[in-house]
Amino acid sequence: MAHQTGTLSEGARRVWRHQRVLWWLFAVNLALAAFGTQPVDRAIGRVADHSLYAQRLYQGFDLSAFSELAANPEVALWSKVSSSLLFAVVFLGVALFLTGGILETYRSDRKLATGEFFFACGTFFWRWVRLLVLLLVAIVPIAMLGSVITGWAAVLSDAAPQEKLGFWVEVAGLLLVTVLMMAVRLWFDMAQVRVVAEEERSVVRALVRAFRLTRDHFGSLFWMYIRISFLAWLGLAAALFLWIRVPAQRLGFSFFVLEMALLWWMGTRLWQRASETVWYERHSAAPQMMTPLPAPETFLSSVTAASPESGM
Partner 1 sequence: MHRLRPAVFLTAAAILLLAAADERGHAAAPAIDPAVPAGKPLSERVVAYQIDARLDTRKKTIDAVEVLTYRNLTGQPQDTFPFHLYLNAFQPKSTAAREFQRDDPRFEWKAKYYAAAEVTSFEAVGMGDLTSQMRFLAPDDGNDDDRTVFQIKLPRPVAPGESVPFRIAFHDQLGEVLARTGYKRNFIMAAQWFPKIGVWWQGAWNCHQFHANTEFFADFGTFDVRLTLPQDEIVGASGEEISSVNHADGTKTVSFHGEDIHDFAWTAEPEFRVFTDYFTGSAGMVKIRLLTQSGHVAMAERNIRILKQTMKRFDQWYGPYPYPQITLVDPPHGALEAGGMEYPTLITGGTTWWMPRGWRLLEQVVAHEFGHQYWYGMVATNEFEDAWLDEGINNYVEMKIMDDIFGKDRSDIDLWGLRNSERGEQRRGYLRDADRDPIARFGYQYMDSRSYGDISYYKTATMLLTLEKVIGEDTLRRALRTYFTRFRFTHPGKEDFLKTVEEVSGRNLRWYFDQAVYGAQVLDYEILRAGSQPADWFVKDAPAEKKDGTFYRTSVLVHRKGDFVFPVEVLMKFDNGEEIRERWDGRDRWVRYSYDKKARLISAEIDPEHAVWLDKDFYNNSYTVAPARGARRKLSAYWLACTQFLAQCLAWLV
Kindly list the residues in this chain that would bind partner 1 in the complex (CB under 8 A). Answer: 29-30, 32-34, 36-37, 40-41, 44-45, 47-55, 57-58, 60-69, 71-72, 80, 84-85, 87-89, 91-92, 95-96, 99, 128, 132, 135-136, 157-159, 161, 163-164, 167, 185, 244, 249, 251, 254-255, 258-259, 262, 265-266, 269
Roughly how many angstroms between the first and final C-alpha of the chain, as a whole number?
36
Question: 87 or 271, CB closer to partner 1?
Answer: 87
Residue among 199 and 259 whose Cβ is closer to partner 1: 259
Question: Which 8-state DSSP code applies to residue 52?
Answer: G
- Nearer to partner 1 among residue 52 and residue 306 (C-beta): 52
- For the bound state, the minimum distance from the C-beta of residue 210 to partner 1, rounded and expressed in Å, comes to 16
Nearest distance in Å: CB 207, partner 1? 15
The neighbour count for residue 42, using CB atoms within 10 Å, is 11
Q: How far is the CB of 168 from partner 1 (least distance, A)?
A: 11
Q: CB nearer to partner 1: give 64 or 307.
A: 64
Q: What is the DSSP letter of 150?
A: H
At closest approach, how far in Å is the CB of 301 from partner 1? 31
Q: How far is the CB of 279 from partner 1 (least distance, A)?
A: 19
Helix/strand/coil (H/E/C) assignment for every residue in 194-243: HHHHHCCCCHHHHHHHHHHHHHHCHHHHHHHHHHHHHHHHHHHHHHHHHH
Q: What b/e sequence results for 206-215 when a residue is b if at least 16 CB atoms lie within 10 Å of its CB, and e otherwise? A: bbebbeebbe
Dist. CA 292–CA 108, nearest whole Å: 6
Rank residues 53 and 230 by Cβ distance to partner 1 and give the closer one: 53
Q: What is the number of residues in the chain? A: 312
**41 CB neighbour count, 10 Å cutoff:** 11
In the complex, least distance from residue 47 CB atom to partner 1, rounded to whole angstroms:
5
**What count of other Cβ atoms lies within 10 Å of the Cβ of residue 89?**
12
In the complex with partner 1, the residue whose CB is nearer, 11 or 36, is: 36
